Amino acid sequence: MRKKFIFITGGVVSSLGKGIASASIGTLLESHGYKITILKFDPYLNVDPGTMNPFQHGEVFVTEDGAETDLDLGHYERFTNAHITKKNNATSGQIYNAVLMREREGGYLGKTVQVVPHITDEIKKRIVDVSHSVDIVISEIGGTVGDIESLPFLEAARQMHIQKEKDVLHIHLTLVPYIKAADELKTKPTQHSVGRLREIGIQPEILLCRTERPLTDDIKEKIALFCNVKKEAVIEALDTDLIYEIPLIFSRQNLDRIILGYLGLKAEKDNELTKWKKIVYTLRNPDKEVVIGVAGKYVKLQDSYKSIYEALIHGGIANKVRVIYKKIDTELVEKEGIDKIIGNISGIIMPGGFGIRGVEGMIGVVKYVRENNIPFFGICLGMQCSVVEFARNVCGLKEAASTECNPETAHPVICLLPRQEEVKMMGGTMRLGGYPCRLKKGTIAYAAYRKSVVYERHRHRYEFNNKYREIFEKKGMVFSGIYPDENLVEIIELTNHPFFVATQFHPEFKSKPFAPHPLFSAFISVSSKSIF
């Protein structure tokens, strides 16, 4: 079978949901037995999103092989069985850097290096590189058609269509806005967006029309006529409150069979979407609701903790519970105190982050949940704040701190390893990607995982200072997970508490709706039984 390539672009405005659309299409193609992978091209010049501000960029998703990538790769993993690696995300910065390094090394033999063909060839090479072990490569091109930054990627897509005409498909996600004053859906933005694509040389075969109102046959016919596509290829991407329903919405409109038809592929079997139907049914018909506080420094931007929110939903699916999360800004906690902010919740999760801002508020939240027996789940910085709080208020080490926040602290309970202190490049001190964790029997973690060794993904610099292990254990802290190669603390627990677990790694990155992470499932299970 020849390799097939799908390009997904977006128009009119950003944030229409190209990532979820790409992941949903991957789901549908997998349901017919095809092996897929999804590649995200980001037009910005940063080499990767690892050093970008979460308020501007959103979450940094970490792959098993340690790549810091765009959050859309999280959608790809949650929706599909695709093996996502560092090869599945490429920025303009990476593309240009690779070409310029090759030029410096003499790789172009003195030729003039240009956007076409050298940059576009590098883009096409990235696509081919991920195609070897799959049937279909889905390439999502970030940004909005008309942006200067994305032009080289669109040009590469245009070239591939010429070179592999019968094996390439273009899908364009656009907006059909509803104008309340006129009580009408307007197709003109879609017409203009497709027009811009056609000026570049790309004729999309399928349109995904994001809309808050159903599209009538007349509107579909109008879009089809003016955008030069078949009417049945005008797909309604109706707003929904459940992203996990999107594969079903697309399937009901035969999007999978339309795609297979254009690519000359057979529907190998009836699409198997039973598990997705069960997920949606559970989310629509929960046994009860539970309110979980999300206490962190980036709560003002929804995308900053994207995987956390999704993993909480997955934990709810495992327990047939609808999870409602309440955002707790830890900077606000510092100013106003936790009592005025916390409200009626059944558990608190504390995600990761970097820097000193909001940390004292996080420590204050930890103290509150520990003393009031509220189920608590700390992740990365949340684990480190738990350690600092325990050191100060239980172990009597009043000046305890992380050296990230106070390099001169008398009790550096969280610190850099000696080998890290010599590295100066930002990101060079990070522990990234999958590492083994050995679990201690008789602990909450062991009961949740039901195995002795697990592999989890990391994204952090600072570690628990093993010099303080003995005093912490004497005061009641349990170190239930250890990275065996370097004897580093991975999971902490408190025994005299209904649920107090914190991890140095990021379990949210490995959670899926049909395979909820064990720690999230355990946390939601306990929280749903607590009343606060």
**Active-site residue numbers?**
380, 506, 508
Distance CA 505, CA 515 (A): 18
Which of helix, strand or coil describes residue 154?
helix
Query: Distances in Å between the alpha carbon of 274 and those of 9, 28, 241, 245, 361?
Result: 29, 12, 20, 12, 44
Contact 215, 209 (CB under 8 A): yes
Contact 161, 139 (CB under 8 A): no
The residues with which 411 forms a beta bridge, in sequence order, are 400
Distance CA 185, CA 520 (A): 41
Angle at 305 between CA 492 and CA 334, to 5 degrees: 70
State the SS3 of 244-264: HHHHHHHHHCCHHHHHHHHCC
Residue 387: Cβ-neighbour burial (10 angstroms; 0-12, 13-18, 19+): buried
Strand-strand pairing, 36-42 and 89-91: parallel
Other CB atoms within a 10 A radius of the CB of residue 78 amount to 24
Dihedral pair phi/psi, residue 305, rounded to 5°: -120, 40
Which residue, 178, 314, 298, 301, is CA-closest to 242?
314
Dihedral pair phi/psi, residue 504, rounded to 5°: -75, -25
Contact 508, 314 (CB under 8 A): no
Task: Give me the amino acid identity at 42.
Answer: D
Which residue, 122, 164, 133, is CA-closest to 4?
164
Angle at 159 between CA 155 and CA 165, to 5 degrees: 135
Contact 36, 139 (CB under 8 A): no
The residues with which 503 forms a beta bridge, in sequence order, are 379, 491
Dihedral pair phi/psi, residue 404, rounded to 5°: -65, -40
Q: Maximum CA pair distance of the chain?
A: 75
Copy the structure tokens of residue 183.
């009580």
Preceding peptide of 518 cis, ω within 30°: no
